[in-house]
């Protein structure tokens, strides 16, 4: 497609002008971005309602609120982050000084998914702007109203040679990927993540991959069961389970399983019954995903929920018991409002089973015991997570957010977002007032002398 190379060239020229490197320009852009979101709150909420039936409350806390908070945090720290960082120098480099300069990569491509269509496009963009880059955003085609509105708002707020939205499907992304970008930031599935990395490799373009997978949630026998049930019900069923860090499945200790299931069911009713009645529960994004998710209902037995409507693409919060690792629901990331429960007796066996699978994006531990928490943290590798909570780690600007292994490469949020989009340029500034002789080979006993310094 001509358009992508033409747009890319315009952005490249604009980047070369040096304008985006000016910190004042970045601050102005971030302020404009924040104002753009604030002043179009109603339209954004309507778009998300249309695409996913998200309630205004959910849209605010999981989309607008998160990006506005990221902008506020970035504006507060940007001067500090952009300043060259002075570092120590080695003893053998006496007289010199060391600095790390954070410099923008240039023109970056941000590819985002449909489940939090605003947040997952704008949060990386905040990092790209803060670091001084130009950016092309490719949002998901499965949330057309939000993508269209973002394209309109961005084009009214920023010149296309600085920030631009390219709408389209997989084919559009593939056309974009033929071009040489300076950085690619991708959020989406593991399968597409591999295609992105393959395409990026052809140009040696560095990537961040924010992927998914099955995130376990462990409820130990000493957990505060009431709080665990409530926080799990919230984190699993928010956005109808279409959250990359939602607890995918539960591992509950046998001693507390029956009590836990009873309280979990009560918590689900308490949190969602009214919302479902008012038709404010988030829907599944497409008929294809809806059919994929309801097919998973055949695993184990339904302990709660299980109703669905193809007309509204909604599925009730559903709990499955009697599930084992061979069931279809345990073969793929669920990405829907279905929560299977496995039980464990021996913690080592449970850890062993989790470790047989790809490294998860998130993991949650509900336990009052520091020792148990420590054992789990030490024995399972995963992107990040919470102890005695779910999902909340994602909203802290102080915690870099990302996966490991199959769940992703790299991390962002807060300072992490600035760092992701910055190359760290290391500079040694040498003194000219003296010249230590040790490195030069033309001295008597040169090797002997150098060995006195490097042991």
Binding site for ligand NAD (CB under 6 A): 111-115, 120, 138, 140-141, 169-170, 173-174, 187-189, 192, 195, 210-212, 244, 333, 335, 361, 403, 408
| DSSP 8-class letter at 132 | T
Question: Residue 391 Cβ, how far from ligand NAD at the closest point, in Å?
Answer: 11
- Report which of 337, 410, 393, 417 is spatially closest to residue 115, judged by C-alpha positions: 337
Question: Residue 416 Cβ, how far from ligand NAD at the closest point, in Å?
Answer: 12
- Considering beta carbons, is residue 120 or 232 the nearer one to ligand NAD? 120
- Report which of 106, 91, 87, 51 is spatially closest to residue 452, judged by C-alpha positions: 91
- Considering beta carbons, is residue 300 or 403 the nearer one to ligand NAD? 403
DSSP string of 412-428? ESTHHHHHHTEEEEEEE
Tell me which of 70, 244, 343, 386 is the catalytic residue. Answer: 244
Tell me which of 210, 316, 333, 343 is the catalytic residue. Answer: 210
d(CA 166, CA 60): 25
Question: Residue 241 Cβ, how far from ligand NAD at the closest point, in Å?
Answer: 11
d(CA 369, CA 359): 24
- Considering beta carbons, is residue 212 or 385 the nearer one to ligand NAD? 212
Q: Are 210 and 186 in contact (CB under 8 A)?
A: yes
- Report which of 305, 341, 337 is spatially closest to residue 322, judged by C-alpha positions: 341
Residue 289 token pair: 């995903």
Query: Is 210 annotated in the active site?
Result: yes
Length of the chain, please? 455
Question: Residue 112 Cβ, how far from ligand NAD at the closest point, in Å?
Answer: 6
Query: Is 244 annotated in the active site?
Result: yes
Question: Residue 130 Cβ, how far from ligand NAD at the closest point, in Å?
Answer: 19
- Report which of 263, 227, 7, 243 is spatially closest to residue 120, judged by C-alpha positions: 243
Residue 25 three-state SS: helix
Residue 415 token pair: 């300072």
Residue 264 three-state SS: helix
- Considering beta carbons, is residue 170 or 310 the nearer one to ligand NAD? 170
Question: Residue 169 Cβ, how far from ligand NAD at the closest point, in Å?
Answer: 5
The terminus-to-terminus CA distance of the chain in angstroms comes to 59
Report, as residue numbers or ranges, the catalytic residues: 210, 244
């Amino acid at each position: 497609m001509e358009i992508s190379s033409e747009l890319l060239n315009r952005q490249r020229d604009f980047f070369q002008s040096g304008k985006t490197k000016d910190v004042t320009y970045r601050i102005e852009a971030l302020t404009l971005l924040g104002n753009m979101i604030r002043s179009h709150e109603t339209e954004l909420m309507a778009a998300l309602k249309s695409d996913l039936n998200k309630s205004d409350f959910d849209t605010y806390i999981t989309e607008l609120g998160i990006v506005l908070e990221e902008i506020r945090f970035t504006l507060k720290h940007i001067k500090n982050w952009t300043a060259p960082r002075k570092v120590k120098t080695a003893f053998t480099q006496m007289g010199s000084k060391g600095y790390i300069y954070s410099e923008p990569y240039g023109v970056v491509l941000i590819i985002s998914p449909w489940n939090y269509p605003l947040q997952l496009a704008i949060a990386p963009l905040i990092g790209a702007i803060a670091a001084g880059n130009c950016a092309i955003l490719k949002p998901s085609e499965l949330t057309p109203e939000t993508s269209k509105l973002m394209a309109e708002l961005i084009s009214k707020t920023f010149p296309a040679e600085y920030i631009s939205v390219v709408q389209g499907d997989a084919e559009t992304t593939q056309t974009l990927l033929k071009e040489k970008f300076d950085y690619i930031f991708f959020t989406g599935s593991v399968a597409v993540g591999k295609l992105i990395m393959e395409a990026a490799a052809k140009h040696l373009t560095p990537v961040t991959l924010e992927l998914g997978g099955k995130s376990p949630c462990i409820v130990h026998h000493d957990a505060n069961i009431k709080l665990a049930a409530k926080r799990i019900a919230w984190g699993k069923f928010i956005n109808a389970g279409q959250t990359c860090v939602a607890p995918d499945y539960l591992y509950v200790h046998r001693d507390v399983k029956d009590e836990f299931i009873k309280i979990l069911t009560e918590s689900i009713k308490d949190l969602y019954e009214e919302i479902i009645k008012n038709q404010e529960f988030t829907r599944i994004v497409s008929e294809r995903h809806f059919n994929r998710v309801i097919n998973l209902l055949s695993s184990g037995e339904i302990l709660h929920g299980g109703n669905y409507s193809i007309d509204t693409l909604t599925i009730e919060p559903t709990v499955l018991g009697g599930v084992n690792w061979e069931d279809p629901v345990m073969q793929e990331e669920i990405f829907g409002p279905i929560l299977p429960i496995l039980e464990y007796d021996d913690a080592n066996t449970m850890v062993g089973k989790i470790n047989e699978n790809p490294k998860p994006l998130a993991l949650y531990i509900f336990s009052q015991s520091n020792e148990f928490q420590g054992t789990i943290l030490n024995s399972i590798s995963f992107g990040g997570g919470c102890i005695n909570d779910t999902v909340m780690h994602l909203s802290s600007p102080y915690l870099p957010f990302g996966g490991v292994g199959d769940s992703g490469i790299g991390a962002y949020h807060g300072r992490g977002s600035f760092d992701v989009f910055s190359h760290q340029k290391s500079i040694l500034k040498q003194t000219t007032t003296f010249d230590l002789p040790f490195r030069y080979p033309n001295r008597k006993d040169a090797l002997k002398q150098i060995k006195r310094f490097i042991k």
